[in-house]
Amino acid sequence: MSTTPEVGGRRPIAVNVESGKSYWWCACGRSKSQPFCDGSHKGTGFSPVEYKPAQAEEAWFCACKRTGNKPMCDGSHKKIV
């Protein structure tokens, strides 16, 4: 079982989020519903990460799964070869 998630994309994904709503970010990279979890992590050792915004806004979710600021993009996708 790998401890490194699959790359779900090479650019962050902008999502208009609603205040107080739960969003479940895919941490394994396998989801077909990026950046969100579709249950594809089962058996991988990865678990989705809950994001619950305090206000409605445009949020930039990490798709490469290498961010140090889960679930938000921190620019780590620029370092993927």
- Please, are residues 46 and 5 in contact by the beta-carbon 8 Å criterion? yes
The token pair that represents 55 in the structure block: 């206000």
- Please, are residues 24 and 39 in contact by the beta-carbon 8 Å criterion? no
Q: Answer whether 0.85 is exceeded by the pTM.
A: yes
Tell me what the mean pLDDT of segment 26-52 comes to: 97
Q: What is the mean pLDDT of the chain?
A: 96
Q: Is residue 12 part of a domain?
A: yes
Sign of the Cα torsion 30, 36, 42, 48 reads positive
Residues found in the chain: 81
| Percent of the chain topping pLDDT 90 | 94
Give me the domain span that covers residue 4: 1-64
Q: How many domains does the chain have?
A: 1
pLDDT of residue 1: 63
Q: Is residue 7 part of a domain?
A: yes
| Percent of the chain topping pLDDT 70 | 99
